[in-house]
Structure 1
């Protein structure tokens, strides 16, 4: 019977045991060669159009310093201060909040939402083993059962009636690692057990410290990495809010944390779709967790895929150096371009601020939020900017305003 799939993804631990490469000619992204020829990255390499949408500022819609954003077909959802705020995608008008945090039957534990690409329904994690579901108007639609208890750090996206979720390990929380198919009642229908986490995780009593590195330049308190230091001197790293499962042109993509391979998932089979070639900078599996003599190695930390491009972030010196690079892989030309991520993407469409993508849609949009303080800083360094046309929004905002959403589209 043809499977209809609802995708889910969890934050994953380092390391993986990959299935055999079944693809005849997988795409290859040459990181090593691109690093030797860094170049300026421009917004026009991702899209031909750019829009700036000031998000309406009211007492009920204030966006805090920490947030995450998602786009649907007609709305912008911002998760901040324990709430999920909804804004009109065209005008930025505040449309209300979706659900609420709480222990009542309709409450959720985490305000970060996961959007079903067909129904636009929103799903939120509820400890320890459920999702709660709402429509875009904030109407409660019930609960979804999960077949296993999971870490509260999740990433989900949806399509139709089955869930495909990757069950990894949380902090000091041993679990089998596998891709599981299950329905909304929590009934497991299929699995891909070959994606396993080798070895035993450290227990909570062996942790000496936990730190967070905000690795996305230009965007405060978004994404990043959790560093778990153990008493024996080793370390584990977990990515924050970075998908391991996503849809691309109707296909299912899967990548374990920091792995060099992106897989296509069909039923209970995984085939290689894309590989990152880091060559002399490849991080040897046996050195994962070691801080000494690993500064030169490179790992891929985050991926945003649209029909024409694959945008990625790589990090040199995972444990100490922490030097991030942006990369754009042009699928049509089969060319990879990279730069220093702190510079961002040059705005060659409106000649405004650099662009630091933090989310994307399957339709080909990339988006980020421009914080008012950073806009003011840039304006001070670039006086005389013409506040007309696409930049006319600058006349509408002030220091008390919510951030401005910038969307780059095909």
Structure 2
């Protein structure tokens, strides 16, 4: 493969497998003692995670209605709200509706879905899945920019791939393992392949569920992020795959990557490839790569990472192959190494404003977390707290929100 440079990370993975927790430093890697925190679950509070919270009520008109189950991300000066078949931009400061970006359709400028894409703050462009393995890119001004097809094609189902930006020019892609190739991360500049780094996790690189005829059941599970696909084979073995580009996350000008069944978190560089920077100490709840097709009681399966300069906020599931599935929130505070875990459904108690609990669903590269507060929950809170007199001004301003209005976005730093 022309211009490809294969980097093998076997030695690093074997070394990191021996790392263990307590918040200690091992070979300059931060160790996050997640297993110990899982054994000592506690309430998560906004003061544990953030320094300030701001609320933005989204404008509501007939031309910018937001459907239930919306998601939100922050792109520079805009709130990118995706719901149904629409991607809408709202002003980050005022909540004013700006425009709709992209459309679902089979025409040359149409995408297949507006869900699970990514935005590049360097260029202000938004990318969505197109057709036949392509991506359709639009400017924040709403104009069609171009269609891009990755130079490396993902294998046939159940192989998966995921993509995001590295900088203004370079796109990173993840490809799951196939029977003939290991999982790998590739970097592209347009149609040029800059490098490919292989992730050699174990002796066997088989998919487990080899093809459509071997599948007994497919289901999509909610994980507090883009969701995961669970595949159960006729032979009794199972496989799970994260949807969207949740393998990657950005902070400032750095790109990070986490691969399923690997305790290591990597930083991605166009020059150095995959560089180990942190390791999750899962203790008794680790799930080895060579056991990935078998049910393992209480094993931790991380699904989403969100990071800024102060904290890493992430989600994980347990018992993903059986009927005891649960999703959790976890917080790692960089300054003191504190790790806290709580059930996802408990959300984060707002002890700063005394308002509705929060559930962060995204973080911008500049470190601003975002959450959605449904308008009916906002209205109910004010009804339940009608006699409350010490409401912070930022919360009090939301009294104008009606039950039929668009949701409120909470921005946390």
How would you bin the TM-score normalised by the shorter chain?
Answer: 0.7 to 0.9
Q: Deviations over 1:106-157 (max 9, x none)?
A: 1111213411121211122211232222221102222223113347874523
User: Could you tell me how far apart the structure 1 residues matched to 2:160 and 2:265 are?
Assistant: 24
* Structure 1 residue 175 displacement after superposition: 7.0
The residue that corresponds to 1:306 in the other structure is 308
- 155 and 265 in structure 1: CA distance in 2 versus 1, 3 angstrom threshold: closer
The residue that corresponds to 2:148 in the other structure is 144
User: Could you tell me how far apart the structure 2 residues matched to 1:304 and 1:155 are?
Assistant: 16
Tell me the C-alpha RMSD between the 2 structures.
Answer: 2.7
The residue that corresponds to 2:280 in the other structure is 276
* Structure 1 residue 204 displacement after superposition: 1.1
In the alignment, structure 1 residue 285 sits paired with structure 2 residue 289: yes
In the alignment, structure 1 residue 39 sits paired with structure 2 residue 42: yes
The residue that corresponds to 2:12 in the other structure is 20
In the alignment, structure 1 residue 190 sits paired with structure 2 residue 198: no
The residue that corresponds to 2:168 in the other structure is 160
Match of 1:177 among 177, 180, 183: 183
The residue that corresponds to 1:101 in the other structure is 104
* Structure 1 residue 195 displacement after superposition: 4.9
Q: Deviations over 1:302-350 (max 9, x none)?
A: 2111111111112222222222222111112122122232211111221
The residue that corresponds to 1:125 in the other structure is 129
In the alignment, structure 1 residue 363 sits paired with structure 2 residue 366: yes
- 396 and 381 in structure 1: CA distance in 2 versus 1, 3 angstrom threshold: closer
The residue that corresponds to 2:376 in the other structure is 373
The residue that corresponds to 1:203 in the other structure is 211
Q: Deviations over 1:44-70 (max 9, x none)?
A: 222211111111122221222233322
Q: After the TM superposition, which residues 331-346 of structure 1 pair with which residues of structure 2 at under 5 Å, given as runs?
A: 331-346=334-349
User: Could you tell me how far apart the structure 2 residues matched to 1:68 and 1:195 are?
Assistant: 34
User: Could you tell me how far apart the structure 2 residues matched to 1:46 and 1:258 are?
Assistant: 26
- Structure 1 unaligned blocks of 5 or more: 1-15, 217-221
* Structure 1 residue 187 displacement after superposition: 2.3
* Structure 1 residue 235 displacement after superposition: 1.2
- 212 and 378 in structure 1: CA distance in 2 versus 1, 3 angstrom threshold: farther
User: Could you tell me how far apart the structure 2 residues matched to 1:144 and 1:364 are?
Assistant: 28
Say which SS state the counterpart of residue 20 (structure 1) adopts: helix
* Structure 1 residue 380 displacement after superposition: 5.7
The structure, 1 or 2, with the larger RCO (C-alpha pairs under 8 Å, 6+ apart) is 1
Instruction: Name the count of aligned residue pairs.
Output: 384
The residue that corresponds to 1:116 in the other structure is 120
In the alignment, structure 1 residue 229 sits paired with structure 2 residue 236: no
- 356 and 28 in structure 1: CA distance in 2 versus 1, 3 angstrom threshold: same
Q: Deviations over 1:17-64 (max 9, x none)?
A: 855258822100101221233222111222211111111122221222
- 371 and 240 in structure 1: CA distance in 2 versus 1, 3 angstrom threshold: farther
User: Could you tell me how far apart the structure 2 residues matched to 1:153 and 1:236 are?
Assistant: 15
* Structure 1 residue 189 displacement after superposition: 2.3
> Would the aligned equivalents of 1:225 and 1:239 in 2 still touch at CA under 8 Å?
yes
The residue that corresponds to 1:316 in the other structure is 318
* Structure 1 residue 261 displacement after superposition: 1.3
Bigger mean CA offset, 375-384 vs 274-283: 375-384
Bigger mean CA offset, 308-317 vs 31-40: 31-40
- 240 and 374 in structure 1: CA distance in 2 versus 1, 3 angstrom threshold: farther
* TM-score normalised over the length of structure 1: 0.85
> Would the aligned equivalents of 1:166 and 1:178 in 2 still touch at CA under 8 Å?
yes
The residue that corresponds to 1:4 in the other structure is none
* Structure 1 residue 364 displacement after superposition: 1.6
> Would the aligned equivalents of 1:259 and 1:300 in 2 still touch at CA under 8 Å?
no
The residue that corresponds to 2:251 in the other structure is 248
> Would the aligned equivalents of 1:180 and 1:192 in 2 still touch at CA under 8 Å?
yes
